[in-house]
Amino acid sequence: MKSLIARQQSYRDRQFYNEHVKAGISRNVKLHDAIDNPASSAAACLNVLGYLNQNPGFIQPFFHSFGLEIEEVIGFPSGVDFGGEVYDDRGPIVFEWIGPRNSPINEKGGARGYLKTSVDAFMLARVNGKVSQVLIEWKFTETYEGGNFLHRFGGLRGVERLRRYADILARQRSENFPFDFDAEDGRGLADFSYEPLYQLLRTTLLARETTGMLLGEHRIEDYFVLHLAHSENTTLLNVGRKHLRYCPGLAHVGGGMNLHQLWTSLLSAQERGHFASGYWNQALPVLEDASNYLQERYGAQA
């Protein structure tokens, strides 16, 4: 991990694949403050998925690497008004997606990339014959080792978060509940206190609440949540007792578990079909980047 971060410093003067990577992003988006940091996850996401926006023929093989079988990439309808939020982005992949302006998961205020659940990347595709939204959570070098990252449902702000998302889940009890909860005891909402689980909770709820809505001329019929990490970020990927100290229903993890496996274990049997994951750096060879920029910067060292 340290060598991966150190390797990024040589790209300080070549932070983006080319000058067009950010060209299609709406001016309504607030990009991450660390976007110019060579180790930035947001920059890595823009580089790789921005390359796909410029070379859409590689979208299907790239996502095939993670088990997502896209039959057709549906062009994003630039300028579309989606529940009061106008998306004037260009390209099939849209960054910092929030869904409609008024949050369907009870979040107040904020905007794209700011104080609101903003999915790193979003696209429309036909999967299994259905118009599907794909919500992508992208990770590179970030880790969540202490402080409120471990206890998102603690303190006064935690009380508000519990109220906000519990209301959504209570409404979904009779609608193919997404998580593997018993009627009593066992796992509960507090078990999503660790930041990576909390992020996936919000993304899943957002995807479920917006499926069925009309996006331009397309009715969203299905959804997939895709979590992509860098394979060398073992600090993020290996979840143990120290990360889950405020997650009482996950005491069994103890010696550790892969983040993707842990999240899958929290999902109901039906919901697991809506989740995919993988290591984006291992899929870079399918992009056939002639400059070799992406592979040299983010790929595994020889």
Residue 240: CB partners within 8 Å, gap ≥ 6?
Answer: 253, 254, 255, 256, 257
- How far apart CA 240 and CA 258 sit, in angstroms, is 9
Reading the block at residue 46, the tokens are 């823009």
Rounded to two decimals, what is the model's pTM? 0.96
pLDDT digits (tens, 9 = 90+) for 21-80: 999 999 999 998 899 999 999 999 999 999 999 999 999 999 999 999 999 999 999 999
CA angle 173, 152, 280 (to 5 degrees): 85
| pLDDT value of residue 301 | 61
pLDDT digits (tens, 9 = 90+) for 162-194: 999 999 999 888 778 999 998 777 899 999 999
Report the helix count and the strand count for the chain, using DSSP H and E.
8, 12
At 64, phi and psi to the nearest 5?
Answer: -60, -30
Per-residue pLDDT, averaged over 257-282, amounts to: 97
Q: Phi and psi of 218, rounded to 5°?
A: -105, 125
The more confident residue out of 193 and 7 is: 193
Let me know: does 140 contact 233? Beta carbons within 8 Å: yes
β-strand partners of 228: 138, 278
**Start-end of H helices in 66-178:** 155-171
Report the DSSP pairing between strands 80-82 and 85-87.
Answer: antiparallel
DSSP 8-state secondary structure symbol assigned to residue 44:
H
- At residue 244 the predicted structure's pLDDT band, cuts being 50, 70 and 90, is very high
pLDDT of residue 251: 84
pLDDT over 90 percentage in the chain: 88
Q: Average per-residue pLDDT in the chain?
A: 95
pLDDT at 2: 78
